[in-house]
Each structure stands twice: as structure tokens, then as C-alpha cells.
Amino acid sequence: NAGVTQTPKFQVLKTGQSMTLQCAQDMNHEYMSWYRQDPGMGLRLIHYSVGAGITDQGEVPNGYNVSRSTTEDFPLRLLSAAPSQTSVYFCASSYSMGAHTQYFGPGTRLTVL
Amino acid sequence: GDSVTQMEGPVTLSEEAFLTINCTYTATGYPSLFWYVQYPGEGLQLLLKATKADDKGSNKGFEATYRKETTSFHLEKGSVQVSDSAVYFCALSAISYGQNFVFGPGTRLSVLP
């Protein structure tokens, strides 16, 4: 049981490049989400999904796309990277929304030059 | 909108000292409240939670009580250890936010031997 896995662990991009951050969970959780963590700001929700084929925007969705074709996978795509997207990105999953425990992946540290 | 405020860190304590990290919240309705902990280089993991007023969450010697009258969920531990050094996040699950999580900015705790 691997829990929530994320790849890559580190990534450096140039402005304007695109990339996909991968997230997978093996707990059969319906709810998955992406956060970014910036110093002094805690975690902010980018996008979330309540099940395969269903996604919605969070607090800071601009510049990011998501899709959920399977229960297990929830990739995050950066369309055209900008220095403001330099951050640590966390994927999380839980049984459903609300008071259920969220399980976090180890994070991806992204630097955009 | 819904929000979480935490005491600013960093907090530095000697081993066996008493710990309090203050957390207050603003929310519509009756949110569920959480404390998550992030150890160096890792993702967040649930420390404890409370889902209704006057509930006390506890785990690993940490405690927090859901106080509706003061909109607070302060984290306490009677005797900290070096291994408790981490960043602690207070969070709520907000119905008005689609039951997604709202995180505070985090409080870094360093415990010295």
C-alpha cells in the first residue's frame, strides 16, 4: 500500500515551458486535490475532484489544468510556466469531502526560471 | 470568506517544555477542525481532529478542544520532544467552501535538547 505518490520530486522549468505533475493513490479514494505551498501562506487549493470525470476549481486555478480519467490518477498540468508558479505542490486524497482525513503525497518542488 | 489564523512562528522550546500553538477561525456554519503536521522533507499528515463543538481531539500527547464560543482550536502538549520539531498547520473543512479544506499559514516548532 503506497498511499499517495507524486512524481517528480524536483523540477526546474524555463518560463513558457509546460509540464505535468503526476499524482496517484491506491486507497480507492473518491476525492483528490492539488495544493500549492508558499512561505507564510499555508496551503492553497488549486483544483479538486470528487470522482472520475469530475473536476472543479479551487482558490488559485489560473495557469493549471487537471483531468481525472481514473479513480487512481489526478495529474496537474502547467500550461505555460511562469516564475510565480515556483512553489511546492502537494497532492492529497480522502474517502470523500468534508471531515474525512486527507492523505498527502511527499510533494514536488518546482522552480520556474 | 472562511479563514484560519495561527500564531506566528518560529516557536523554539527546550525539551520537556509545555507547548501551546494558538489557532482561531472564521467560518460560516459549523466547520470540522484539524491539526496537520509536516516533518522536514515530507507531506502533511493528520495529527488530530474535532468535528463538533466541545469535542477534544488527541494523538501522540497532543490535544486540542473545539471551542465554538471563542472560535478557537488551540494545540497543546504537556512535554515536547526533539522529535516534535516540525511545522504545524491548523485547518478547517468549510461547507461554504464546498467542504474543501482551508489551511492556516503554519507554525514552525523547533525543540532543543
Residue A45's pLDDT is: 92
Q: Are strands A31-38 and B62-65 parallel, antiparallel or unpaired?
A: unpaired
For residue A101, list chain B residues with Cβ-Cβ distance below 8 A.
46, 49
User: From chain A, which residues contact B within 8 Å (Cβ)?
Assistant: 4, 33, 35, 40-45, 48, 56, 58, 90, 92, 97-99, 101-107
**pLDDT-derived band at A7, boundaries 50, 70, 90:** very high
pLDDT at residue B99 greater than cutoff 80: no
Residue A86's pLDDT is: 97
Residue A66's pLDDT is: 97
**Considering chain B, what is the average pLDDT of its residues?**
92
Q: Are strands B11-14 and B107-112 parallel, antiparallel or unpaired?
A: parallel
Cell of A85: 508558479
Tell me which of A35-44, B31-40, B65-74 is least confident: A35-44
Cβ <8 Å between B49 and A99: yes
Strand, coil or helix: B96: helix
**pLDDT-derived band at B100, boundaries 50, 70, 90:** confident
pLDDT at residue B75 greater than cutoff 80: yes
Tell me the residues of chain B between 51 and 90 that have a Cβ less than 8 Å away from chain A: 51, 89
Strand, coil or helix: A70: coil
Cβ <8 Å between B93 and A58: no
pLDDT at residue B98 greater than cutoff 70: no
**pLDDT-derived band at A104, boundaries 50, 70, 90:** very high
Residue B95's pLDDT is: 67
Average pLDDT on A78-106 reads 91
